[in-house]
Amino acid sequence: GSGGGVAAALVSSLVSASLRDEQALITLSQLSCNVDPSTLDARGVATILLGFAVLNYRDPALVSHLSTLLSRVPIDAVSPQAASNVAWSCAVHEVVDPRLLAWVWRCLDKHIGGMPVSGLSQVHQFLLYCRIHNITKADILTSYYDQDLSGELLSQVSDREELIERRCLDSFVLSARSERREGSHLQREVASVLKDVAGEIFEDLKGVPAEEWLRQEHIDRGSGYSFDLYVPDRGLVVEVDGPSHFVTSVTISKEEGMRQERETPNGKTAMKRRQLRQLGKTVVSVPYWDWPEQRDTQAAYLSRLLRESM
């Protein structure tokens, strides 16, 4: 049978519709865990992991089961695309299982040379996740092989890692630059309101021209992330999140059995916010559907968000 292929295709269709339907995801998780393992190859597993990551739905039991399947797949039988998809998904799901992380590192060693910019960008976020959580390749492989790697091997590992990290960071920045539209109308509005209210909220900015304290479309070299609006002195990042940052979450409420729909951040957006906070930034998100129409209401709204963030 092709149970695994069906599960992967159904997960992909939810991603295409930006639909985080919890009931459907629970069912698909059970289906993925119960199908004949021979019907799920590395690409199918990667598609399922990626789908759950994009929709920002955490399911540790599913990830654990899929890790077991992947650990049986020979590294040579994995495509560069599947490898980068799994790496990125590990970062979104904050995976700590050494078995899966070791599999990812071994795949990257094999495939990183043949990855396009999009794949290297995904790997950058995986490497950033590892850096933030102090997960080193040497530690992971040592625990995976259950023996200490020789010193000579480790020094080769670390030299090569730095080159790879730089290549992935450059690819990520390149992707961020190419994705940037000229700041949206909404972003220009938020910037204008921020200039008006900042002096009232941050004493030291009162009367200081905005060009001295505000950067727009700023690329942070440390993380590679681009910030819509950035106040470097305060480590404050204001993200103006348009429709592409969200998925539609559908839940069935326990009490009334009613279907409830709301917009929630997708995996990419949630991971960016989380990683920036872990790197010590203050992140304020302005969702497109929450921004008021009237100028005075906008000022009150943004002031409240800024005060809550402090």
Check pLDDT > 60 for residue 122.
yes
> pLDDT value at position 147?
65
Distance CA 38, CA 25 (A): 22
Pair 107, 151 in one domain? yes
> pLDDT value at position 142?
84
Pair 197, 83 in one domain? no
Distance CA 24, CA 11 (A): 9
Between 161 and 228, the higher pLDDT residue: 228
And the tokens for 174? Answer: 């390149």
Pair 11, 132 in one domain? yes
Domain that holds residue 232: 185-309
Pair 122, 18 in one domain? yes
Q: Which of 128, 153, 179 is the last residue of a domain?
A: 179
Pair 117, 140 in one domain? yes
Inter-residue contact 32 to 40 (CB < 8 Å): yes
Give the mean pLDDT of 183-189: 88
Pair 159, 14 in one domain? yes
Helix (H) / strand (E) element for 110: namely: helix 98-111
> pLDDT value at position 141?
85
Distance CA 36, CA 43 (A): 15
pLDDT one-digit tens code per residue, 233-273: 999 999 999 999 999 999 987 777 788 999 999 999 999 99
Q: Which of 179, 201, 221 is the last residue of a domain?
A: 179
* DSSP letter string, 173-188: HHHHHHHPPS--HHHH
Distance CA 65, CA 67 (A): 5
Ranges 151-155, 241-245, 296-300: which has the least confidence: 151-155
Distance CA 22, CA 192 (A): 38
Pair 190, 74 in one domain? no
Check pLDDT > 70 for residue 156.
no
Q: Report the number of distinct structural domains present in the chain.
A: 2
Give the mean pLDDT of 18-23: 96
Inter-residue contact 247 to 55 (CB < 8 Å): yes
Inter-residue contact 33 to 65 (CB < 8 Å): yes
Pair 28, 164 in one domain? yes
Pair 78, 119 in one domain? yes
Distance CA 60, CA 148 (A): 29
Global confidence as pTM? 0.92
Percentage of the chain exceeding pLDDT 70: 94
Q: List C-alpha distances in Å: 213 to 83, 227, 279.
A: 41, 14, 20
- The CATH code of the domain that includes 275 is 3.40.960.10
Distance CA 34, CA 65 (A): 10
Pair 303, 200 in one domain? yes
Pair 51, 77 in one domain? yes
Pair 83, 172 in one domain? yes
Q: Which of 179, 196, 216 is the last residue of a domain?
A: 179
User: pLDDT confidence of 90, banded at 50, 70, 90?
Assistant: very high
Dump strand ranges (E) for the chain: 19-21, 215-219, 226-231, 236-241, 246-252, 259-265, 282-287
Sheet (strand 282-287) strand order: 215-219, 226-231, 236-241, 282-287
